[in-house]
Chains A and B, each alone.
Chain A
Amino acid sequence: MEEVSCRARQDPLMEAIGLCKRFGRVVALEDVDVTIQSGEVVGLLGDNGAGKSTLIKILTGVYRPDGGELKFEGKPVDFASPKDARRLGIETVYQDLALIENMSIARNFFLGAEPSRRIGGFNLLDMAAMRRVTEEALRDIGIAVRCATDDVCVLSGGERQAIAIGRTMYFGGKLLILDEPTSALSVHETNKVLGYITEARKRGLAVIFITHNLYHVYPVADRFIVLEHGRKVADLAKDEATVDDLIRIVAYGIEGTRRD
């Protein structure tokens, strides 16, 4: 027992070694290594078409890599579908696929994992518990909702992200992948969402934060991975690079910085 928990602390939460992915003749990813520790926020950066979303889709089981291997908590894994990844605690919050607008907050919160009570031989939704737990779980991580039976469409973009993040934390997610969580938000709302990301890290979750905006990711991230044309061109801890360094790497590649 002792040895296992010790190993678990040393191993990264998730590790990808030499990932390759081709679509026909297009090489989307080439020999990419990534490691993520629990309690770490990694900023995943790169221009459009750099391979960010291909990488994420491999980590979450949407695509199978053509080469390379994946390890989760030290053990090799092979995801046949996103379900397999979710079962291990890998959760993705997509920018506009997080919630369903015409359903209540509580119904969204428990979608796919609805609590039910057996009443007269039928499994009926426990609406009271859904409402109570949703409000409690969200309050617990600093998200105030007026009423969990309100429809999601009355919420702002930031509140929607918050609920999606809160849901992942509540259901015991270990790796939270956020796809452009702040791209459509006001400054005030962005700061709030960044606060929830910090909160997730404090609770020991690993977070991958995909963004175009370095000013959003820099304050909350511990490490930055930059992709370019399907290759990893930089993997830097925060104390190894300033915002300006990173902007230059994303814009001009690693050579761009050397020329300076």
Chain B
Amino acid sequence: MRPLLNRREVGVAVALVLVFIVFFSMKREFLNAGTLGDIVTVAAELGVVAIGVSFLMIAGEMDLSVGSNFALSGMVLAMLITKSGWNPWAALLAALACGAGIGAVNGLVTLYARIPSFITTLGAMMFWRGIALYLSQGWPISIFEDVPLLRLLGGARVLSTAHISAVWWFVIGLVFCLVLEKTAYGNWVFATGGKRAAARALGVADTKVKMTNFIITGVLAALSGCLQLGRMGSMSPVWGQELSLEAIAAAVVGGNSLSGGIGTIFGAMLGAVTMASIRIGLVMVGAPSYWYMSFVGFIVVAAVALNVKLGEVISWRK
């Protein structure tokens, strides 16, 4: 029992079960295949961002600009396909490169100007949102023709109501779980976020690790924008405004430490599922969607409090 309780994901697992019990007791249809498909579809786009944010958070840095990155990179993909007539695959590469660039700028400014990443990426959040609004003049862009790449990204359905974007999310999640837990690089990520000076003293290239993770987070935010464009066929420069905080919330609910050095990718993915379940559940029971934020806020605090409590109980027993 103890190894299980020791896992950082206990808090979020309990929260997820509670959310399911509440909605299931209100509406039996909450547990059918269609609803679960909707949940993983909504969780996928948030989850891809949350994986990046967690990976960076474990290395000891924050990224508030992922929401703006999501919108801008999605816009880049949409505009290159519709207005510039690019080959969709080349446009996808360009959109991901845009995300990588945003991540790289975040990393360079944070690491070389020695500004806290909270500040750097707060600025970046506003800056790139402005660029996205300027490029689109504030209008959403829709793609009406059938683009196979967009179907492959998110348009196609795989199982009942679940979109293919959920598959990409699972694959990315699996890869990052492995990288974090089972590779030397993952060991360096934990060390860099856990105690940077000690990691450096032992020969870990801490700055390179942080820089790499900033870029990965940027790429994943961009990919999430592309997945959503694939699923919805349109992208608006005002989408993803709450995405940064939602992704951080998913990571924190999933047992990741805000100050770095502790956490799991699986926890962040469960966090994303929890938040998607709340979103879908509120729609199903016919509650106004305004409740979503309040619910999520409650879950964030409750899950983290539960984690802290469990941590105390475990350390007493030792």
Contact = CB atoms under 8 A, between A and B. Distances in A.
Interface of A: 82-83, 86, 92, 94, 96-103, 107, 110-112, 114, 116, 122-125, 127, 154
Contacts of A99: 198
The B contact surface, by secondary structure, is: helix
B182 A124 contact: yes
Contacts of B197: 97
A97 B195 contact: yes
A116 B262 CA distance: 22
Contact of B203 (A86, A107, A125, A154): A86
B178 interface: yes
Contact of A102 (B186, B201, B262): B262
B304 to A, nearest CB: 16
Contact of B194 (A82, A96, A100): A100
Given A100-B199, A110-B187, A116-B184, 9 more contacts: A83-B203, A97-B195, A97-B197, A103-B261, A107-B190, A112-B188, A114-B184, A114-B187, A124-B178
A6 B204 CA distance: 37
Nearest to A111: B202
A94 B191 contact: no
Interface of B: 178, 182-184, 186-188, 190-191, 194-195, 197-199, 201-204, 261-262, 318
A82 B194 CA distance: 21
Given A100-B261, A101-B194, A103-B194, A125 B183 contact: yes
A127 B184 CA distance: 10
A174 to B, nearest CB: 16
B54 to A, nearest CB: 15
11 contacts: A82-B201, A97-B197, A100-B261, A103-B190, A103-B261, A111-B188, A111-B202, A112-B202, A114-B187, A116-B184, A122-B183
A101 B191 CA distance: 9
Contacts of A123: 183-184
Chain B CB within 10 Å — which of A100, A114, A154 has the most? Answer: A100
Given A99-B198, A100-B194, A111 B187 contact: yes
A213 B135 CA distance: 67
A57 to B, nearest CB: 12
Contact of B178 (A86, A97, A112, A122): A122
Contact of A107 (B187, B198, B318): B187
Contacts of B188: 111-112
Give 10 closest A-B pairs by Cβ, nearest first: A114-B184, A112-B203, A100-B194, A97-B198, A100-B195, A124-B182, A112-B202, A102-B261, A97-B201, A102-B194
Given A86-B203, A98-B198, A122-B178, A111 B183 contact: no
B318 A154 contact: yes
Contacts of A112: 188, 202-204
Contacts of B318: 154
A202 to B, nearest CB: 25
Nearest to B198: A97
Given A103-B190, A107-B190, A111-B187, A125 B195 contact: no
Contacts of B261: 100, 102-103
A112 B198 CA distance: 11
Contact of A100 (B182, B186, B190, B203): B190
B166 to A, nearest CB: 24
Contacts of B201: 82, 92, 94, 97
B196 to A, nearest CB: 10
Nearest to B262: A102
A122 B183 CA distance: 9
A94 B195 CA distance: 13
